């Protein structure tokens, strides 16, 4: 139960979990998504990287592994939008939100710095435009507009919250929550990597934006606003639709939370 754990332990769990999400997810995109090998016999070049599917799986696996590892300590958010949705739905006291957000952003930035440091060890690596940053317009992998990116991010984050709240409901099958959540994040990435490089997580976006440059810092606002709106919507919809239409707030709500 997270209410028996010290607050610093919760912050540390969120920091470690967000670090792993960014390092595993964005790291797979930077190091392994596009790897070109040469056939020794024909001298032809071919792709041996993991591609979009591999990156999507990597993000999902980071959540599965850390949710099992530290979810019982902090709730396993690793994402400011998830923390907002948890607070709105009554799963987390509002007073805990600032500490969670700070821990998540710091953990993500440390992971971004680690990715940058490792990638810089390869001759010819150029960080600008190559750090798996999110973007819209010219910085969207598929050239999608700001409106399209915001719509996708809001919808996907809202559904992510619904999956999280449902999978961790007291009525849900025990022990399978992390799997459902990780698979959901994999699906989200399969849908939206071509749209925005997939955020649904402001800490993930912040983690690499400033190392990436190339317009990413200037577009970062969109990857805070859209996921937070989605998290708010998901956090409101689940209790209204599936918990007898009741929203509970504050310490009492957290004490009654079916997530823990």
**pLDDT beyond 80 at 257:** no
Within 1-43, residue ranges assigned H as helices are 7-31
Average pLDDT over residues 170-197: 97
Give dist(CA 51, CA 106) in Å, integer.
28
Query: What are 36-94's pLDDT values in tens digits?
Result: 776 666 666 777 789 999 999 999 999 999 999 999 999 999 999 999 999 999 999 99
Give dist(CA 92, CA 239) in Å, integer.
13
Q: Which CATH superfamily is domain 2-255 in?
A: Glycerol uptake facilitator protein. (1.20.1080.10)
Average pLDDT over residues 199-205: 98
pTM of the model: 0.91
Query: What are 135-153's pLDDT values in tens digits?
Result: 999 999 999 999 999 999 9
Query: What are 207-246's pLDDT values in tens digits?
Result: 999 999 999 999 999 999 999 999 999 999 999 999 887 6
Number of alpha helices (DSSP H) and beta strands (DSSP E) in the chain: 10, 2
Average pLDDT over residues 165-176: 95
Domain ranges of the chain: 2-255
CA distances from 9 to 74, 84, 109, 207, 257 (A): 8, 19, 19, 22, 19
Residue 215's φ and ψ, nearest 5 degrees, are: 90, -15
pLDDT above 90 covers what percent of the chain? 85
Give dist(CA 136, CA 151) in Å, integer.
12
DSSP run (H or E) holding 37: strand 36-38
Mean pLDDT of the chain: 92
């Amino acid at each position: 139960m997270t209410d028996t754990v010290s607050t610093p332990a919760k912050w540390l769990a969120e920091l470690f979990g967000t670090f792993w999400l960014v390092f595993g997810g964005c790291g797979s995109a930077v190091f392994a998504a596009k790897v070109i090998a040469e056939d020794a016999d024909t001298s032809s070049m071919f792709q041996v990287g993991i591609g979009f599917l591999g990156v999507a799986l990597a993000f999902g696996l980071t959540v599965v592994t850390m949710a099992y590892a530290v979810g019982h300590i902090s709730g396993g958010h690793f994402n400011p939008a998830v923390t907002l949705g948890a607070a709105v739905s009554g799963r987390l006291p509002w007073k805990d939100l600032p500490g969670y957000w700070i821990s998540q952003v710091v953990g993500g930035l440390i992971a971004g710095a680690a990715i940058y440091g490792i990638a810089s060890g390869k001759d010819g690596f150029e960080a600008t435009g190559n750090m798996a940053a999110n973007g819209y317009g010219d910085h969207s992998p598929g050239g999608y507009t700001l409106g399209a990116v915001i719509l996708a991010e809001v919808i996907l984050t809202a559904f992510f919250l619904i999956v999280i709240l449902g999978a961790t409901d007291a009525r849900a099958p025990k022990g399978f929550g992390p799997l459902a959540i990780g698979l959901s994040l994999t699906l989200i990435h399969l849908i939206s990597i071509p749209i925005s490089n997939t955020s649904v997580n402001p800490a993930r976006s912040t983690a690499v934006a400033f190392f990436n440059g190339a317009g990413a810092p200037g577009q970062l606002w969109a990857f805070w606003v859209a996921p937070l709106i989605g998290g708010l919507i998901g956090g409101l919809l689940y209790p209204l639709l599936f918990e007898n239409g009741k929203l509970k707030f504050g310490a009492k709500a957290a004490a009654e939370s079916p997530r823990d």
